[in-house]
Amino acid sequence: MSSKGSQPAKAGLRVGVVGAGVMGSNHARVLAGLPGITLVGVVDPSPAHRTRATELANCNSFETLDQLLAEGVDAVTIAAPTHLHHEVALACIARNIHVLVEKPIASTVEEGREIVAAAQKAGVTLMVGHVERFNPAVAAVKQAIAGEDILSIAITRVGPFPPRMSNVGVVIDLAVHDIDLIRWFTESDIVEVQPQLSSAVAEREDIALLQFRTANGVLAHINTNWLTPFKARSVTVATRGKYVMGDLLTRQVTECFGFKPDGSYSMRHLPVGHDEPLRAELIAFLKAVRNGETPAVTGDEGVASLEIATQCLETPSRPAATSPARKGPRRVAG
């Protein structure tokens, strides 16, 4: 095994970014500002994307992955389109390069598992970019419910149709974040899935109401769509002792507690940090690379969340026997 696998580099790390879309350009911008990092460059076949990334991060750009790898890199972040994650990740892992791959880890669970197996065999760090875990409001919610008996979780993640989306619907694009959060908040696996999906205006599902039960008995639901004219991101968690509300955009987290028989209770705002989630995520990845630690979001966790999202899309439709035929959603599951 190479020294990268067994004894992680302690000195400055050479890092590259694959994919210079909106997300990849932001990866490059953040990496360019981190100490102890040399941003070797970004890779993208599109000249316009390369120009944007180089202006944002003041770094080199390459048309192909091979050109980047020829420069020598210790680690890469993969923000290319999802269908390329498998191919790019395996190419990097084969060269003993540490990998952060954006969510979802791959297009299919099988591809995700292959990435995980390859990274384990090569002894390289593999982390999945579920950036919402690094949102300070999410961290404050997680801290507030630590040690509590969680009863239910509700997450809303809605907004307008994104012009960049092409080959996935809201479940893979948006809900996969919240599936990961439910698993993280409850520290349990999701064992029951009840999805309601609709394709109202888009080709793929653009409305999803997803219900879950975890192995430890927590009920959870996700409300997500591309039909809301503004962005909204909220989390509420009910436990036996408290009720926690978090707005992931304004980063306000409120806790209700001290419930009395007469219906009164106490309320307080919880302290929330100011870190940029992507910056916190990249720092965590690079720390795991340097120290040879288990990363904050493992490949197995990324695969588990993708597996639940895939189940939501594959659960067969069971229309009610009495419902009259009507023009409506292309696909309703539940």
* Domain stops at, among 92, 115, 130: 130
Domain-located, residue 1 = no
Residue by residue, what is the 3-state secondary structure of 193-254?
EEEEEECCCCCCCCEEEEEEEECCCCEEEEEEECEEEEEEEEEEEEECCEEEEEECCCCEEE
Taking CA atoms, 283 is separated from 36, 123, 191, 239, 271, in Å, by 11, 20, 32, 32, 22
Q: How many CB atoms lie within 10 A of CB 114?
A: 17
Domain-located, residue 58 = yes
Q: Are residues 168 and 302 in the same domain?
A: yes
Q: Are residues 75 and 222 in the same domain?
A: no
Q: Are residues 93 and 115 in the same domain?
A: yes
Structure confidence at residue 322 (pLDDT): 57
Structure confidence at residue 240 (pLDDT): 97
Dist CA 306 CA 303 (whole Å) = 5
Per-residue pLDDT reduced to its tens digit, 212-263: 999 999 999 999 999 999 999 999 999 999 999 999 999 999 999 999 999 9
Domain-located, residue 288 = no
CATH of the domain at 210: 3.30.360.10
pLDDT band at 333 (very low <50, low <70, confident <90, very high): very low
Q: Are residues 142 and 268 in the same domain?
A: yes
- Give the range of the structural domain holding residue 57, as residue numbers without chain letter: 13-130
Domain-located, residue 304 = yes
Q: Are residues 157 and 304 in the same domain?
A: yes
- 331 pLDDT exceeds 70? no
Domain-located, residue 253 = yes
The tokens describing 190, both together, are 């999701």
* Number of domains within the chain: 2
138 neighbors 246 (Cβ within 8 angstroms) = yes
Domain-located, residue 206 = yes
- 107 pLDDT exceeds 50? yes
Could you tell me the pTM of the whole model?
Answer: 0.89
Dist CA 78 CA 232 (whole Å) = 27
Long-range Cβ pairs for the range 57-62 (8 Å, 24+): 57/25, 57/28, 57/29, 57/31, 57/32, 58/32, 59/28, 59/32, 61/20
Domain-located, residue 6 = no
